[in-house]
Chain A
Amino acid sequence: MLQYKLVLLGDSSVGKSSIVQRFVKDSFDEQRESTIGAAFLSQTIKIKSPNKDNDQENDEDIAIKFEIWDTAGQERYRSLAPMYYRNANAAVVVYDVTAKDSLNKAITWVDELKSKVDDEKKLVISLVGNKIDLISSTNDINESANSPGRQVDLLDAENFAKEHNLLFHEVSAKTGKGVRDVFYEIATLLYKQKLEDDALNKKDTNENEDRSINVALSRPSTNDPTSCCS
């Protein structure tokens, strides 16, 4: 099983914890893990192997375990965030599609992550716009009395995500729309990364491997007691 740390960032009212709670709730068929409220959750999911290599026709599901760390989104606690995102493999930066300012804050989170995380190429960042249930499906700018409607343009966020090489989704924690995809996409990407790393390591250690195989082969001829009768 592969295990990854995922950190949730975003302003306090954008619904970070609702997204994770929805994700965990909807993953009822998967293995349920222990939690600390909605502040820390671990959830195992299974993804299909995205392996393109034909020689590894392995259709087995790959188990990915996420350790999800929530952060306190209030501005006052912002300086504490590095303690939470250190050693993270993935970050989900959440904004509220009905609050214009929240995208700006999300952008500053992305900038911070990019500047402070050592191996930023390896950190998978997903930008997630929440609360799409509050906007009408027919009209982007809904001026109804109950809801402020869409305040963050889909294209703006999407372009920003593209520019900075981020994954991007719009979701509704309330209805569950799109939530699952966020985590499955991250899992798939992380797994791809792992395969690439493995391939690189394999190249590097090819010679050594050969040697070790020889050693292993030569073992039965020694007086190792394990080799003869068991």
Chain B
Amino acid sequence: MFHTPPIDNTRYDLTQSIKSSYSSSNNGDSDDILSTDTGITTNSNSSNTSQSEITNGTVTKSKDTKVKCTEAKQQKELKQQGEEMKKMESTSKEDDTSDTNNKNLKIPDELPLELTRLMQLFIEDLKQPKYDKPISINQLAGYFQKFYIQFHKAATNYCDSKISGIPPATTTQSTTSLSIYSPFGFMSAKDHLSSGLSGIFGRSRSSSNVSINNNDNTVTTVTNNPRVSNNNTQLMLSPSELEYKKTCVKKYMELLEMDLFHMISLLDTSADEKQPNSKNTTHTKFRTYALFRNSGNYIDYDRLFDEKLWELHKIYEKYDLSDFLHMSTPEFDKLKNDTDTCQDEQESAIDMKSPHVFERILHELVIDRLSPIEKMSALFQLQDEILKNLNNPGNDELLSSLIYVIIKYPKKHIFLCFEFMKLFRNKSSLVGKELFTLTNLEAALYFISDLTELPNGIPSTDLFTFRISDAIKIPVFGEDSNDGEKLRDANSDIHISFSELSLQNIISGITTTATATTSFNNNNNGNNSTSTTTTGGGTVAAAAVTNNSTNNNTLNNNSAGIRNRSLSNLTSLKSVLGRLYSSPPPSTSNTPISKVDIPKSTSNHSLKLDFTNTNTIDSQIAEDYKKFQGRDFDSLSISELREVFEIYQMLVQ
């Protein structure tokens, strides 16, 4: 049957009529998005698409079936979360001035096939082994945030189509755009991002109107006039339709965030070679930790934080910290009693659930919940429970109670959990109440990590001699606009500063203003081994290693200067570091310390480093220095770190 475009419907897209004419009742044609990479520009019927599916081999097909299998599992989990999400939704409705949702149109409870497909594409692309070095967590988060924005556009278009009764145009358009998309992948198509991805995600004429309304804390003007907001689109929606669209898109974004992480986790564990399958059942719960494994400073921070938190917990068991935390108010005593005994029958609301309601929620927050949005709802829960115990909770009481609860029920990796939420929660949703709640958690965690003074009479340990945030810098996401774009180019330079590898910066906190440098030279270039050791400043000895891809794929570094670079460049050092440490070098002064070949996965560059140290180093220092050569960074204790620092001090002198 042929559909002709209705003359009186100006919104009708011509391509739609063709599509409608040929499309079968099922939505199978949307399944072919990934497999079409031939750049068919008039691909608008199902026979064409099925053909392309066949010609493009079975790999994508098998992936599809895998994805579908996981979807079923995922639905189960999602239902469990459903109730809480509804709750959260109701709290997040604060911004909505009107709650007159359109009664005719149903609020979706799952992602439509078209949008699910986009999500799958994104996941597939993330899994492509196209980087010659691990990408850092910030870059990854950048990709996610970009995808959220693109998905928001797609969802808006989808809702537009749904409301106007026109089938979404994304499917046909995306098949044409995938000629750009597939061969290069999501990330490497960066340069085509504006053309390629916006092509995928929707009709360009309405995309100009799509913007995410919530700007973080900046002044926003929200117009309530539907005519104004629709000036650029071809759709004229009634206020109720607009409201519905807003709710719908919001719901899709929430569903996306949940689905995305559930799906990634289910796919990832089977594909991840580093995690044995046997461990999957027990260790899949905290996968966020694995996400950070390429970002050394997060891991280091987290480990130190956990140690410190544990120390504080031990202190808590012996001493009363309530005065120290300024919690001597009557409200706090109430909270303390509740968490300690919870046998008070008057407190029925809390007692009914569990004597350790805080512990349970913290466990959910850090371990059980997977996606950032679910973790957020757990955090709200925790906050609500604390508030129940306080009479007049300003932030004086709320923050100190939060810190108290975190110390009382220490949870491993809570710091990474927070960072994960901060990085991967859809930025446009992270506003208002949600942002405040997350900021409170951030403040509580930073209070603990930077705690250097303990109440009188409590013996202090090494951990309380320094602020972790001074010692390990966590790159601030969003400050660098290139987050998510770096390392896109496989040939991009690697800037490695060994100051990051130096243990002493954990103690001294001095990282970037190094004045003493040791250069590692590439003898292939016939350069004299140069080395500069400058005195004064007493900062960390660092070497800048540059992978200069244009120079015979070898390391060429005759400029021994320290590069001023953002710390985010260094977040993938951990993996490099692991390899360096795993091959203990024969280290003697005045001779090459080690020759390390670092294999690269896809590029043909081999990074050959000749570590030459031409300094005359005191033999005793060399002896001391060697002491740690075979050790893994992770296994060093604080006292050993201190030793390394002392060695470093000697080196500087």
- Contact A83/B398 with A5-B217, A67-B432, A77-B447 known, Cβ cut-off 8 Å: no
Min CB gap A11→B, angstroms: 10
Q: Which residues of B contact A3 (CB under 8 A)?
A: 219-220, 222
B325 close to A83 (CB less than 8 A)? no
Quick check: is A126 within 8 A (CB to CB) of the other chain?
Answer: no
B396 close to A84 (CB less than 8 A)? no
Min CB gap B417→A, angstroms: 17
Task: Across the interface, name the chain B residue whose C-beta is closest to A32.
Answer: B94
What is the 8 Å Cβ interface bit string for chain A, positions 33-48, against chain B (1 contact, 0 not)?
Answer: 1101111101000000
Q: Which residues of B contact A42 (CB under 8 A)?
A: 94, 432-433
Min CB gap B506→A, angstroms: 20
Which of B385-393, B489-497, B600-608 lies at the interface?
Answer: B385-393
Min CB gap A12→B, angstroms: 5
What is the 8 Å Cβ interface bit string for chain A, positions 80-110, against chain B (1 contact, 0 not)?
Answer: 1001101111000000000000000000000
Quick check: is A168 within 8 A (CB to CB) of the other chain?
Answer: no
Quick check: is B399 within 8 A (CB to CB) of the other chain?
Answer: yes
Task: Across the interface, name the chain A residue whose C-beta is closest to B92.
Answer: A34
A36 close to B433 (CB less than 8 A)? yes
Q: Which residues of A contact B217 (CB under 8 A)?
A: 5, 67, 86-89
A72 close to B395 (CB less than 8 A)? yes
B436 close to A2 (CB less than 8 A)? no
Min CB gap B205→A, angstroms: 9
Quick check: is B437 within 8 A (CB to CB) of the other chain?
Answer: yes
A2 close to B396 (CB less than 8 A)? no
CA distance A71 to B10 in the complex (A): 54
Min CB gap A88→B, angstroms: 7
Most chain A CB neighbours (cut-off 10 Å) among B8, B393, B396: B396
Quick check: is A226 within 8 A (CB to CB) of the other chain?
Answer: yes
Which residue in A83, A194, A225 is a CB contact (below 8 Å) of B442?
Answer: A83
Which residue in A37, A83, A86 is a CB contact (below 8 Å) of B394?
Answer: A37
- Contact A17/B234 with A3-B219, A87-B218, A88-B217 known, Cβ cut-off 8 Å: no
What is the 8 Å Cβ interface bit string for chain A, positions 194-230, against chain B (1 contact, 0 not)?
Answer: 1000000000000000000000000000000110111
Task: Across the interface, name the chain A residue whose C-beta is closest to B329.
Answer: A12
B399 close to A72 (CB less than 8 A)? yes
Quick check: is B310 within 8 A (CB to CB) of the other chain?
Answer: no
A230 close to B219 (CB less than 8 A)? no
Quick check: is A79 within 8 A (CB to CB) of the other chain?
Answer: yes
Task: Across the interface, name the chain A residue whose C-beta is closest to B384.
Answer: A36
CA distance A74 to B396 in the complex (A): 7
Min CB gap B272→A, angstroms: 34
CA distance A89 to B219 in the complex (A): 8
Task: Across the interface, name the chain A residue whose C-beta is closest to B235.
Answer: A226
CA distance A109 to B286 in the complex (A): 41
Task: Across the interface, name the chain B residue whose C-beta is closest to A67.
Answer: B432
Task: Across the interface, name the chain B residue whose C-beta is closest to A194.
Answer: B219
Min CB gap B33→A, angstroms: 27
CA distance A111 to B222 in the complex (A): 33
What is the 8 Å Cβ interface bit string for chain B, positions 431-455, against chain A (1 contact, 0 not)?
Answer: 0110011011011001100100000
Quick check: is B499 within 8 A (CB to CB) of the other chain?
Answer: no
Min CB gap B432→A, angstroms: 6
B436 close to A39 (CB less than 8 A)? yes
CA distance A31 to B220 in the complex (A): 18
Min CB gap B441→A, angstroms: 10
Quick check: is B326 within 8 A (CB to CB) of the other chain?
Answer: yes
What is the 8 Å Cβ interface bit string for chain B, positions 80-123, against chain A (1 contact, 0 not)?
Answer: 00000000000100100100000000000000000000000000
Which residue in A2, A36, A71, A73 is a CB contact (below 8 Å) of B437?
Answer: A36
- Contact A2/B394 with A33-B94, A72-B399, A229-B8 known, Cβ cut-off 8 Å: no
B395 close to A70 (CB less than 8 A)? yes
Min CB gap B198→A, angstroms: 20
CA distance A2 to B217 in the complex (A): 11
What is the 8 Å Cβ interface bit string for chain B, positions 585-612, against chain A (1 contact, 0 not)?
Answer: 0000000000000000000000000000
B400 close to A74 (CB less than 8 A)? yes
What is the 8 Å Cβ interface bit string for chain B, positions 202-241, against chain A (1 contact, 0 not)?
Answer: 0000000000000011111110100000000010100000
Which residue in A4, A80, A83, A84 is a CB contact (below 8 Å) of B219?
Answer: A4
Q: Which residues of A contact B220 (CB under 8 A)?
A: 2-3
What is the 8 Å Cβ interface bit string for chain A, positions 48-88, against chain B (1 contact, 0 not)?
Answer: 00000000000000000001011111101101100110111
CA distance A35 to B392 in the complex (A): 13
B234 close to A226 (CB less than 8 A)? yes
Q: Which residues of A contact B324 (CB under 8 A)?
A: 76
Quick check: is B521 within 8 A (CB to CB) of the other chain?
Answer: no
Min CB gap A179→B, angstroms: 15
Quick check: is A145 within 8 A (CB to CB) of the other chain?
Answer: no
Quick check: is B383 within 8 A (CB to CB) of the other chain?
Answer: yes
Task: Across the interface, name the chain A residue whose C-beta is closest to B398.
Answer: A39
Most chain A CB neighbours (cut-off 10 Å) among B234, B236, B394, B396: B394
Quick check: is A1 within 8 A (CB to CB) of the other chain?
Answer: yes
Q: Which residues of A contact B397 (CB under 8 A)?
A: 37
B218 close to A39 (CB less than 8 A)? no
- Contact A34/B219 with A74-B396, A84-B443 known, Cβ cut-off 8 Å: no
CA distance A80 to B447 in the complex (A): 7
Task: Across the interface, name the chain B residue whose C-beta is closest to A190.
Answer: B219
CA distance A79 to B448 in the complex (A): 12
A34 close to B218 (CB less than 8 A)? no
Which residue in A33, A38, A77, A230 is a CB contact (below 8 Å) of B236?
Answer: A230
Which residue in B97, B216, B436 is a CB contact (below 8 Å) of A36?
Answer: B436
Task: Across the interface, name the chain B residue whose C-beta is closest to A44.
Answer: B97
CA distance A126 to B373 in the complex (A): 36
Quick check: is A169 within 8 A (CB to CB) of the other chain?
Answer: no
Quick check: is A16 within 8 A (CB to CB) of the other chain?
Answer: yes
Q: Which residues of A contact B218 (CB under 8 A)?
A: 87
Task: Across the interface, name the chain A residue whose C-beta is closest to B7.
Answer: A229
Min CB gap B590→A, angstroms: 47
B439 close to A36 (CB less than 8 A)? no
Min CB gap A199→B, angstroms: 15
Interface residues in chain B, defined as those with a beta carbon under 8 Å from any beta carbon in chain A: 8, 10-11, 91, 94, 97, 216-222, 224, 234, 236, 324-326, 383, 387, 390, 392-400, 432-433, 436-437, 439-440, 442-443, 446-447, 450
Q: Would you give 5 A-B contacts (Cβ < 8 Å), ordered by A?
A: A1-B222, A3-B222, A36-B383, A39-B393, A39-B394
Q: Which 3 A-B pairs have the closest CB atoms?
A: A17-B394, A37-B393, A87-B217
Apart from A17-B392, A40-B395, what 12 extra A-B contacts exist at CB < 8 Å? A2-B220, A17-B394, A17-B396, A36-B437, A70-B396, A73-B396, A79-B450, A83-B443, A89-B217, A194-B219, A225-B10, A230-B236
